[in-house]
Structure 1
Amino acid sequence: MSSTALALSNPCEAGATGAVMPVDIAAAKAIAAAVPVAETETIDLLASIGRVPASEVAARLDLPPFNASAMDGYAVKADNFLKPGPWRLRVAGRIVAGDVPKRSYEGAVRILTGAPVPQGFDAVIMQEKCRVEGGVIVVSERPRAGQNVRIAGEDLRRGDLLVKPGDLLKAQQLALLAGQGMAEIEVRRKIRIGLISTGTELREPGQPLHPGQIFNSNRVMLRASLDSCRWAEVFDFGIVPDTRETIAETVAEASTHCDAIITTGGVSAGEEDHVTSVVAAGGGRLDVMKVAMRPGKPVKVGRLDRALFLGLPGNPNATLVTFRMIALPALRKLAGLSNTAPIWALAIADFAYEKRVDRTEFVPVRLGAGRPDGLPRLTMLGRGSSASLRAISQAEGIALLPPGVDRVEPGMRLAFEAI
């Protein structure tokens, strides 16, 4: 166990122990705690969108596999145009896509897009540049060798790298693999994520709501986010009441079946916040206890048995921010992805906001019209409340307000992540 990892025996220490660390350090520790799954499976190419290749895939054949016409026209030999023009050539045949030229030709050959260029021919004159007189074409412009011909292997050569382990397979890459004749691909198996909602006060949407209770919005938000990750499989353990025994039982079950555990709620220092002490009592370790961020300071990161542990705060805005900034990069690493960090873009603040100089803050924003320099304007939604559902529901991005400044002024450049 590292010197910064904590194992707690006293439940009262759960929210009070551990140094407050910067966001980037906390995210790096979360990524470091994630060990990519090693198991692989071979699946149908059509089912592999959004999955992670298990190994390098190299080209098996040249693309195109033969010299092909890039347009409808007439295949010719450039050497036939050395004398002054105009030139007249007899049309000796016709080739369409899918044909295999079976004989040698002289003169010109009518050819359609995608058809193989016959042996010895090295140019295609587009049909609009020819005048047809009976069985003869009349050409006024001298063609050059290679004109309107897709040369064999100009797109890909056998052995060229097509995809790397750690890529996220996109439709365009699947088209590339299909063009090589691949029907299957080996990918890393999906990571198994256990999702646990803690809180005696929680009810699921559709259930009766009694005084003092609230609906479980975090579960829906996280399920929707994780369900869009084709490399993940969610095991939903539902709502667990705020008792140490029930939380311990559920977390223990999740740790035996899952590669990662995400809990929401119960990570602060209150009397009913049991998640941290449950992890410690179960033999787990916590590498992150407190983070100099708002919202989301009490987020926890560590390991419990074979599972990555991610304890997120219960307030919705804090759940969203800590999920995207700390949990999701670690889950991407767990799935074997090479690119794990949020994708940041630059924009201009269209608001004023006072903040603590020693912490990073994340606020929901809406994007406004761009400036002459092309950077969009950011309008802050709400005032950064951790429990605000309306603000995050309207947000088009999350802006990062960096440490080292105590006030954001209109016109300041900020980084934001689109959501």
Structure 2
Amino acid sequence: MEQGLSGTIGVVVVAAGRGERAGASVEGPKQYRRIGGRPVIWHTLKAFLDWPKSGPIAVVIHPDDRALLDQAVADLPAREELIIVTGGATRQASVLNGLRALQGHGVNYVMIQDGVRPFVNGDLLERVAAGLAAGHVAILPAVPVSDTIKRADASGVITATVPRHDLHAAQTPQSFFYDTILGAHERAAEEKAMAFTDDASIAEWAGIPVHLVEGSIDNVKLTVQRDIAMADEKLKGLALPDVRTGNGYDVHQLEAGDGVTLCGIFIPHDQKLKGHSDADVALHALTDALLATCGAGDIGDHFPPSDMRWKGAPSRIFLEHAARIVQAAGGTIMNADISLIAEAPKIGPHRQAMREKLAEILDISLDRCSVKATTNETIGFVGRREGIAAIATATVVYRGA
């Protein structure tokens, strides 16, 4: 539990609507439409069931939808612990039914979530919980409005441009001290105050200060058919990760010297590698492999040998640059593998240090870094000790659209 939270967080998931704007479907209302192979409400409920701070969860449904809900959650863990509640004629009435259903369950705080926001995640829930832990009685996750907002008259003529610097788009879960929001809802019902579009509005009406926390641009509400189609496409993209493999090859000539630098490790030797930079053939090959995973050209495009800035430069600069390009494109480096082909010097005594250097440069774990070496059996330019070659392979996972 977050420091400052002293009790149980209950959840009300509101899923009693008919969703007319999403159009008719044999699957039923939009909360039961399938995205990524599962009903929308399955994704929403799973997010809360997976969150370790969730307490009892009340699911508010239409009286005709019990069979649809049972089918939707059939394979969810702890589904038998869900509290199933029948909704009312309005969203406001449905939320009140859900709040009442949590009475007697030892709830101190409550999160009220739209059933058709399937992309709510643990990071957002933690931010909301932190707001409650700070002592704020009402928390509203929201994102700043980015579009220009216009006001128009009944004929469709623009009458004003609304300043947007202080405008925010409200999301859920809107979260509260339980007794406070239950009391506000009960009072609104008694006074037949019905002009509320969300629970934060009821809190404002009741004089309860509502504090904003950062929402999530992914936490969208599925309203129309296109929203559902886009959510389905997104989840299918996540289910099939974009895994890419890049290859790189480089070779540098050997000449008289005092040692070679390979994988960022200097090895004393009676020869050195000839090149504009430090001629680290291994890191050059790996740089090309990483760039290949996002179609970003090769090392020469980014660090041309004609540019004197790179004369004698350590090749880790090139590899770090390629890693930043991959990360900016949404990639996560999963594996780096280098094969060195050389008659000398011996690579074995330095392999561990090389792997550790790769892990440091790429900021990945050691088990994801591999360095291998072989000779060329005295054949060709490598066999004659005229040069050293390197072959590198990089595996990168890119985020789905």
Q: Scaled by the length of structure 2, what TM-score is found?
A: 0.21
Greater relative contact order structure (CA < 8 Å, 6+ sep): 1
Higher helix share: 2
